[in-house]
Amino acid sequence: MNAITVEGLCVKANNRHLVENISFSIEEGSIVAIIGPNGAGKTTLIRAVLGLIPYETGSVLMFGKPFKHNNSHARVGYVPQKIEFDRTFPLTVLELLRFTVPPFYSLPFRDRSGEERINSLLKTVGMQDLINRSIGSLSGGELQRVMIAKAIVNDPHILFLDEPASGVDIEGQERFYDLVRRLNKENGLTVILISHDLNIVYRFADNVLCMNRRLICTGKPAEALTDEVIKSVYGEMMGGYIHSCHEHD
Amino acid sequence: MNTISEFLAYPFIQRALMASIMVGMLCPFVGNFVVLRRMSFFSDAISHAAFAGIAAGALLGIDLSLSSLLFAILIAILIAFLSEKTTLSHDTVIGVAFSGAIATGMLIIGMMKGFRGDIFTFLFGDILAITSMDLLLIFLFSLLTITILLVFLKPLLYITFNRDLAQIEGINVRLYEYLFFVIIAVVITVSLKIMGIILVTSLLIVPAASAKNLASNMKSLFILSCTFGVASGVLGLMASIYLNTSSGPTIVLVSIWIFFMTMLKKK
């Protein structure tokens, strides 16, 4: 079954197309990478699919039904590229994760719901010792790991990751993508991942969706990302890079 | 010099003390959201919208508390609506509403003949002039507002942290935004008679900002802000009685003194 079906999606801002007539489908349980140069509309596409920004035309279905934020048939987790928040916000890791756990209308300071699940997830992402730390004091890598724990705390069907490991050291990136792969294999989680790192795309993605406002190609990374495609999307400089990724793979 | 117990024997002092405790809890409780969302300018605009409401109420001969409440809610919703529906920045919309409210209020007052003391009570506040009916209204609104905020605390805090993430979790962000703006309007109007239009936002902002200097989690933020709010109200009131100064400014100066103490502790 298709986890996501997008048909003819167009997003406009100031009479300019940010995403133009994009159609694709993503199979349940797969990891799909979205690649493209800066300004290609990758984040806009994800935000439109998630209903965070309006789209001009087109349709988005999740598991065959239109996506609504409070639908239980398609729970989604989202790790944005950059989390905009006040660093002095006196919010602990535990309190942040509790935001996501129902019930929403209980007295939050007496709320013990989901505590076991939260503890186990923080252990999975290696953050169990930082449960009472203020989120503003976390490093980029620590925050990303907390955000992925937060994104999966409610057992989502689909996980959207927008350059989730940007600003994270190499070791942290490895741990992060290993975790994503493990969740995909063990829980059948569908993962949609935006990444600039072709190496990561080759190693972790089942399929790739290459775009530059329009869809350029789609398919398995080794087949879809030809030298010509990479050159046309990223320019001449990236032509040789593709071979090193193949070799690494 | 009179002792505290002698002062407390006066019913108007008792009412003032109770009002300072209630408003000292209510304002910082809501103020936490205002500070975390960096909406101090918005609360200023709302208090000035209440000024236009008071002037309009005086002109039309309707209850000033009611007219100020209606105007404050109307302007709060208008700001939220324009920010949502236009490409104008939130700051610009607030600036326009702020100027519009002040100009309207001044225009109406200029049209009226004679001195209106009741208008000046709202402009500068007078905690010692609080009546039993005022106290009852403050109590009821405080109870209602804090209950609503406690029930919806989790979604409201989630939206304050990050709108997009809250929306994806199925929280109706738009509805909660409007609810919150109306709550700010209500709280400001309820506190007007005590603090006055000019100083009312300080009781929203300063104790919450002081608590933010020290708090390590949300629970401590709410407890500390309300504690600082009540302490500012009670100590400020007592100081104003002993020093024979205006109550509103004294309460604000006490809260600012607490703010600087927390700054030192923070360092």
The structural domains of chain B, ordered by start, are 4-266 (1.10.3470.10)
Model confidence pLDDT, tens digit, residues B234-250? 999 999 988 989 888 99
On whether both A39 and A160 belong to a single domain, the answer is yes
pLDDT higher than threshold 80 for residue B194: yes
Which residues on adjacent β-strands are paired with residue A2? A27
ipTM attached to this prediction? 0.83
> pLDDT value at position B29?
95
Instruction: Find the domain containing A38 and state its range.
Output: 1-75+156-172+186-249
> Which has the higher per-residue pLDDT, A6 or B170?
A6
Average confidence (pLDDT) over B24-53: 91
Query: What pLDDT is recorded for position B35?
Result: 94
pLDDT for position A116: 81
| B121 has pLDDT over 80 | no
pLDDT above 90: percentage of residues in chain B: 54
- pLDDT given at position B184: 93
**Chain B neighbors of A84, CB-CB under 8 A:** 162
**DSSP label at B62?**
S
pLDDT higher than 60, residue B267: no
How many domains does chain A divide into?
A: 2
pLDDT at site A249: 47
Residue in chain B lying closest to A71 (CA) = B170
Residues A241 and A196 in one domain: yes
Return the pLDDT at A238. Answer: 58
Residues A148, A160: one domain?
no
Same domain, A102 and A67: no
Q: Chain B: nearest CA to A234, how far in angstroms?
A: 30
| pLDDT at site A106 | 62
Which one-letter amino acid corresponds to residue A165?
Answer: A
Q: What tokens does A94 get?
A: 């535990």
A58 and A92 assigned to the same domain: no
Q: What is the mean pLDDT of residues B202-211?
A: 95
A8-39 per-residue burial string, b: 16 or more CB within 10 A, e: under 16? ebbbeeeeeebbbebebebeebbbbbbbbeee
Q: Give the C-alpha distances (Å, rounded to integers) separating B89 from A18, A129, B94, B165.
A: 22, 41, 9, 21
Instruction: Indicate if A117 and A38 belong to the same structural domain.
Output: no
Asked whether residue A49 is assigned to any structural domain, the reply reads: yes
Interface with B, mutate which of A83, A85, A109, A192 (most B CBs under 10 A): A109
Given a cut of 90, is residue B224 above it in pLDDT?
A: yes
CB distance B161–A99 less than 8 Å? yes
Q: What is the side-by-side strand order in the sheet with A2-13?
A: A16-27, A2-13, A57-62, A65-66
Domain assignment present for residue A97? The answer is: yes
Residues A47 and A166 placed together within one structural domain of the fold = yes
Top mean pLDDT of A235-249, B166-180, B204-218 is at: B204-218
Question: Is A107 or B226 the better-scoring residue by pLDDT?
Answer: B226
Q: Which chain B residue shows the shortest CA-CA distance from A94? A: B217
Within a domain: A38: yes
Cβ proximity of A220 and A235 under 8 Å: no
Residue B199 has pLDDT above 90, yes or no: no
Q: Residue A103 has what DSSP assignment?
A: P
Q: With contacts defined as CB-CB under 8 Å, which chain A residues touch B164? A: 47, 52, 78, 80
Q: Is the dihedral of CA A115, A120, A125, A130 positive or negative?
A: positive
Q: Which residue would you say has higher pLDDT here, B12 or B122?
A: B12
**CA B82 to each of CA B34, B78, B252: distance values in angstroms, whole numbers, following the listed order:** 19, 6, 32
| pLDDT at position B221 | 95
pLDDT for residue A109: 60
Report CB contact under 8 Å: B218, A98: no
Instruction: Give the per-residue pLDDT at A242.
Output: 53
* Low pLDDT (below 70) residues in chain A: 70-73, 102-113, 166-168, 236-249
Q: How far apart are CA B9 and CA B55, in angstroms?
A: 35
On whether both A89 and A117 belong to a single domain, the answer is yes
* CA nearest to B58, candidates B103, B137, B1, B111: B111
- Residue A178 inside a domain? The answer is no
A103 within domain boundaries? yes
Q: Determine the Cα–Cα distance for residues A235 and B78; give it in Å rounded to an integer.
A: 48
Angle at A244 between CA A234 and CA A144, to 5 degrees: 70
Assess whether A100 and A123 both reside in one domain: yes
Q: Is A249 found in the same domain as A160?
A: yes
> According to the model, what pLDDT value does residue A187 have?
83
Q: Is A240 exposed, middle or buried (0-12, 13-18, 19+ CB in 10 A)?
A: exposed
pLDDT of residue A167: 63
Residue in A78, A106, A109 nearest the CB of B219: A109
**Nearest residue, CB atoms, A69 vs list B36, B168, B215:** B168
Among residues A91, A174, A74, A201, the alpha carbon closest in space to that of A138 is found at A91
A139: which DSSP letter?
-
Collect all residues of chain A within an 8 Å Cβ-Cβ radius of residue B217: 90-92, 95, 132, 134
Cα torsion angle, B210, B212, B213, B215, sign: positive
Q: Are residues A206 and A219 in the same domain?
A: yes
Listed residue (B120, B136, B131) closest to B58, CA to CA: B120
Tens digits of residue pLDDT in B58-117 = 888 888 888 999 999 999 999 989 988 888 888 899 999 889 988 998 898 888 877 666
CB atoms inside a 10 Å sphere around CB B204: 31
Distance, in Å, from the CA atom of B138 to the CA atom of B193, rounded to the nearest integer, reads 10
Q: Are residues A230 and A138 both part of a single domain?
A: no
* CATH number of the domain encompassing residue A163: 3.40.50.300
